[in-house]
Chains A and B, each alone.
Chain A
Amino acid sequence: MSILVDEKTRVVVQGITGNEGMFHARQMVKYGTKVVAGVTPGKGGQDIDEVPVFNSVTEAVTNTGANASAIFVPPAFAADAILEAADSGISLIVCLTEGIPTLEMVIVRAYLKEKGINLIGPNTPGIISPGKCKIGVMAGYIHQPGTIGIISRSGTLTYEVVDQLTKRGLGQSTAVGIGGDQIIGLNFVDLLALFEKDAGTEAVIMIGEIGGTAEEEAARFIEEHVHKPVLAFIAGLTAPPGRRMGHAGAIISGGKGTAKEKMEALEKASVKVVRNPALVGEEMEGILKSRSAHRA
């Protein structure tokens, strides 16, 4: 089992005729994702390999039954692309674009809430249910189907953790990059709720970082609603305050949003917090072993 995306997911790629869009659309098809359509206004009627291109998302949905969207559109137009997808009846939007103005996302979030539509990102590597569906830019081959759910604010750090898991024979149910921006769609809490309900997920890994209070909110949620084991790594223990560490959302401001505060909040909620990023796979294996020993 998995969350949000699986064999039934039918993907439309917005911005499919651009360099990034085309490259990653092909990578997704190669992985086995059902990429059923592409959209670039003005380029409707063309084909990219076997994938038909439409002028609007509505046309793509009507003609192909697409139910998820992957957005590879430059920052100045990406908020519009998200709104268009939401307006066209797409139920899951994955926005890979980095650099969307924060106040644009304020409007986007309000609209998505009204429509009840799920957004992953922006500024995310995407989402993958190994062996079933990949919507994003991550390398498919490092993943392996299994029972660990992953929620992360980072890209390459997620690959690092996935790699550690796979090398130990621990597969993943679904790995979700929630994005590095200040305002994002689905957050730790939303995804923890989905993983808690998913019969195919045995344990969850959270990869957080400095900035904001999403990890603290997750800690409160875990305390009350999550029974599966959760392990966390928080990046940025050595990050200086007041500086934006690459991601738009990774900043300690007014003394708030430090890695230490987040770790303490999570530990209080009985989350296993790993301080050495190289040991995430090993610690997860330990948790699963002690659980199965407990059951036997």
Chain B
Amino acid sequence: MKIHEYQAKEILKSYGVPVPRGRVAETPEEAGRIAKEMGTETIVVKAQIHAGGRGKGGGVQVVHSAHQAQNAAKKILGTTLVTHQTGPAGRIVRKALIEEGVEIEEELYLGMVVDRSEACPVIMASREGGVEIEKVAAESPEKIIKEWISPVTGLRPFHPNKIGFGLGLDLGQVGKMRGILSGLYRAFIGKDCLLAEINPLVLTKGGDLIALDAKMNFDDNGLFRHKEIAALRDLNEEDPLEIEASKYNLNYIKLNGNVGCMVNGAGLAMATMDIIKVAGADPANFLDVGGGATAEMVKNGFEILMTDKDVKVVLINIFGGILRCDTLAEGVTEAVSEVKVKVPVVVRLEGTNVEEGRRILNESGLNFIVAQGMKEAAEKVVEALKRQ
């Protein structure tokens, strides 16, 4: 799960990481008031959306009075911001962070993720801050310091020492780095993060280190033990169909094609998308109704698929295994008549009682195209598309 910059900063601040003074505003008037109260010479107005690249997209403005801050917020709030991470559709800006300006001497990078291969968190630091770390990693990997943190030791004082001196910071700065790393680490572990990033971590003209931007992604599997984090979910940042699907516990992701897919199991669902592509068509979505695919889930799946106007053909690919195909076929038949599916539906079922399942589909009087095997299913999808 993702959260906004201002929320990430609040969390990091509560763990002792220095962040600029600031508050979030939802209207230009509120922005003006906040700026006035802060009373600083320089004020930064930052659009809050779940995507990077906001500065380049015009979502970050530096101003010098409360009045200007209000005007900047007026420009930013309500607009659709397009960045390289939002896709061409962009995101509507609903909140802006009003912050005191900071005099920047240098921009550093500090981040922490879970390293899958090493099976432990890794802290990454670099003097090349302010740009995407992937870019630094690709172009000059030697400029990134990595410290893997064993769960046996946790973060120890030697880690920030290695990182701080490794970056070439002076003794006083290393001391400040120790506090920041300790906060970052405790927030990461304490809130079940998968990623926590301070980019840039700014070295100010006054010699302080301060988190100018912050990003945190949380482990969905850990949310059950952090209700306060789960509450930060912003539905405005998600696709409405995906929100609807998540209410039914369905894994749904909208894509650009016109073949609606319904599959049991994530791997098979991806493979089904791939075979549709191989056959010469494009999947409209990823939809995993769960390995155990019940008739109920299939019905819910249809509800979602039929809301997507791009869908011209539906492909159901279910490898039941232990599941009985006759029961499943009855469920599919019921769902198609209840949800009033108007497009052709190609069905591929496999599992116990598969013959009986196919008979039920064939004799249902509904618009089913029954296929045997994935290859035939994909080919029949393409044929059905061509007929339209």
Residues of A within 8 A of B (CB): 27, 75-76, 99-103, 105-107, 109-110, 125, 137-139, 141-142, 152-160, 163, 180, 182-183, 207, 209-210, 212-214, 217, 233, 235-240, 242-250, 254-256, 259, 275-279
Q: 1/0 contact trace for B346-367 toward A, CB 8 Å?
A: 0000111000000000000000
Q: Can you name 17 A-B pairs with beta carbons within 8 Å?
A: A99-B221, A101-B192, A102-B219, A103-B192, A103-B219, A107-B151, A110-B152, A154-B266, A156-B264, A159-B319, A163-B350, A183-B114, A235-B267, A245-B286, A246-B269, A246-B270, A254-B134
Residue from B85, B151, B264, B350 having most chain A Cβ neighbours under 10 A: B151
Central interface residue in B132, B189, B272, B282, by most chain A CB within 10 Å = B272
Chain A CB within 10 A, most for which of B116, B137, B222: B116
Interface members, chain B 46-80 (any A CB < 8 Å): none
Closest to B318 in A: A156
Nearest B residue to A251 via CB reads B194
Q: Within 8 Å CB of B121, what residues of A?
A: 103, 106
Distance between Cα atoms of A235 and B120 in the complex (Å):
26
Is B150 touching A155 in the complex (CB atoms < 8 A)? no
Q: Residue A240 contacts which of B120, B152, B253 (CB distance < 8 angstroms)?
A: B253
Min Cβ gap A128→B in Å is 12
CB distance from B135 to the nearest CB of A (A): 10
Q: Are the CB atoms of A250 and B114 closer together than 8 Å? A: no
Further 9 A-B residue pairs, CB within 8 A, beyond A102-B114, A110-B120? A75-B224, A76-B224, A106-B119, A139-B320, A141-B352, A159-B319, A160-B271, A235-B267, A278-B375
Known contacts A106-B114, A160-B319, A183-B116; is-contact A277 B374 (Cβ 8 Å): yes
Could you tell me the distance between the alpha carbons of A236 and B266 in the complex, rounded to whole angstroms?
10
Interface size of B in residues (CB-CB distance below 8 Å): 58
Give, as a whole number of angstroms, the nearest-CB distance from A141 to chain B: 8
User: A109–B120 Cα gap in the complex (Å)?
Assistant: 9
A residues in contact with B225, CB < 8 Å:
76, 101
Contact A125 B291 (CB under 8 A): yes
Kindly list chain A residues whose C-beta atoms are within 8 Å of the C-beta of B322: 27, 137-139
- Check A156 against B268 for contact (C-beta < 8 Å): yes
Is the beta-carbon distance between A102 and B271 smaller than 8 angstroms?
no
Task: Check if B20 is an interface residue, CB within 8 A of chain A.
Answer: no
Contacts of B271 in A (CB 8 A): 154, 157, 160, 233, 235, 277
Judge whether A277 and B134 touch: CB under 8 Å. no
A278 touches B291 (CB 8 A): no
Contacts of A276 in B (CB 8 A): 274-275, 278, 375
- Chain A contacts of B291 at CB under 8 A? 125, 137, 155-156
Contacts of A105 in B (CB 8 A): 119
Question: What's the A-B contact tally at a CB cutoff of 8 Å?
Answer: 180
The 3 residue pairs across chains A and B that have the minimum distance between CB atoms = A154-B267, A246-B266, A156-B265
What is the CB-to-nearest-CB distance from B237 to chain A, in angstroms, rounded to a whole number?
A: 13
B373 at the interface (CB under 8 A from A): yes
Q: B192 contacts which chain A residues (CB < 8 A)?
A: 101-103
Which chain B positions have C-beta within 8 A of A101? Answer: 192, 219, 221-222, 225
Contact of B265 among A99, A106, A157, A278 (CB under 8 A): A157
Measured between alpha carbons, how far is A255 from B138 in the docked complex, in Å? 11
What's the nearest-Cβ distance from chain A to residue B106, in Å?
Answer: 24
B355 → chain A, closest Cβ, in Å?
15
Residues of B within 8 A of A109 (CB): 119-120
Q: Please state if B373 and A245 are interface contacts (CB–CB under 8 Å).
A: no
Tell me the smallest distance from the CB of A81 to a CB of chain B, in Å: 15
Contacts of A138 in B (CB 8 A): 321-322
- CB of B350 within 8 A of CB of A180, answer no
Contact A157 B268 (CB under 8 A): yes
Please pick, from A235, A237, A249, the residue contacting B116 in the complex, using a CB distance under 8 A.
Answer: A249
Q: What separation, in Å, do the CA atoms of A244 and B266 have in the docked complex?
A: 10
Proximity bits, B237-274, A CB within 8 Å = 1, else 0: 00000000000000101010000000111111111111
Question: Given A159-B321, A243-B253, A278–B275 Cβ distance below 8 Å?
Answer: yes
How distant is the Cα of A157 from the Cα of B272 in the complex, in angstroms? 9
Chain A residue at minimal CB-CB distance from B138: A255
Most buried by B among A137, A212, A239, A246: A246
Residues of B within 8 A of A27 (CB): 322
Residue of A whose beta carbon sits closest to that of B322: A139
* Alpha-carbon distance between A210 and B375 when the two chains are bound, in angstroms: 22
Q: Counting CB contacts under 8 A, is B23 at the interface?
A: no
What residues of A have a CB within 8 angstroms of the CB of B320 in the complex? 139
A278 touches B273 (CB 8 A): no
With contacts A103-B219, A105-B119, A182-B116 known, is A275 near B278, CB below 8 A? Answer: yes
Residue of B at shortest CB range from A142?
Answer: B321
